[in-house]
Amino acid sequence: MSKEPTVPVGLVEDLPLAVSRNPGTTLFSVISSTFGDAAHGTPPEWRRAVRAAAPAGAAATVRALLTASHPWAPDSLALTSAVGAGAATPVAEELDRLDPDALLGDLGERYGEHLPAAWRRVADRPGEFLTAYRTLARSVWDAFAPLWHQADALLGREVERVGAAAVTGTLGTVVNDLGAPVRYADGRVHLPHTCPRHAAGTGRRRLVLVPLASGFGACTYSAEDPGLIWIGYPLPGLGRLGHRTGERHPPPAQDRLDLVLGPVRAALLRQAHRRPSVSEAARHAHITVSTATYHCDLLTRSGLLRRLRHGRETRLCLTDDGAALLDLLA
Residues 79 and 185 in one domain: no
Tell me, yes or no, whether 130 lies in a domain.
yes
Cβ 42 vs Cβ 33: under 8 Å: yes
Residues 78 and 196 in one domain: no
Residues 162 and 273 in one domain: no
DSSP letter (8 states) at residue 200: -
Q: What is the pLDDT along the chain (330 residues), one digit of tens a residue?
A: 446 788 888 787 777 788 999 999 999 999 988 888 778 888 888 889 999 988 877 777 777 677 755 567 887 788 887 787 766 778 888 898 899 999 999 889 888 888 888 888 899 999 999 999 999 999 999 999 989 988 988 898 898 888 888 877 788 888 888 877 788 888 888 887 776 655 555 567 888 999 999 998 888 888 878 888 889 999 988 887 764 323 344 444 346 788 788 888 888 998 887 788 888 888 888 888 888 898 999 999 999 999 988 777 788 988 888 888 887 775
Q: How many domains does the chain have?
A: 3
Cβ 263 vs Cβ 239: under 8 Å: no
- Domain final residue pick, 92, 117, 150: 150
Cβ 189 vs Cβ 171: under 8 Å: no
Q: Provide the 3-class DSSP secondary structure of residue 230.
A: strand
- Domain final residue pick, 111, 132, 150: 150
Residues 157 and 177 in one domain: yes
What pLDDT, on a 0 to 100 scale, did the predictor assign at position 245? 29
What's the one-letter identity of residue 248?
A: R
What residues contact residue 102 under an 8 Å CB cut-off, 6+ apart? 76
Tell me, yes or no, whether 243 lies in a domain.
no
Of 55, 73, 78, 70, residue with least CA distance to 132: 55
DSSP string, 74-132: -TTTTT-TTTTSSSPPPHHHHHHT--HHHHHHHHHHHHTT---HHHHHHHHSHHHHHHH
What pLDDT, on a 0 to 100 scale, did the predictor assign at position 71? 65
User: How far is it, in rounded angstroms, from Cα 88 to Cα 110?
Assistant: 26
Tell me, yes or no, whether 91 lies in a domain.
yes
Residues 113 and 66 in one domain: yes
Of 212, 228, 81, residue with least CA distance to 144: 212
Q: Record the pTM.
A: 0.70
Task: Quick: pLDDT tens for 94-144.
Answer: 898 899 999 999 889 888 888 888 888 899 999 999 999 999 999 999 999
Residues 38 and 186 in one domain: no
- Domain final residue pick, 150, 185, 216: 150
Range of the domain at 114: 23-150
Q: What is the CA radius of gyration of the chain?
A: 20
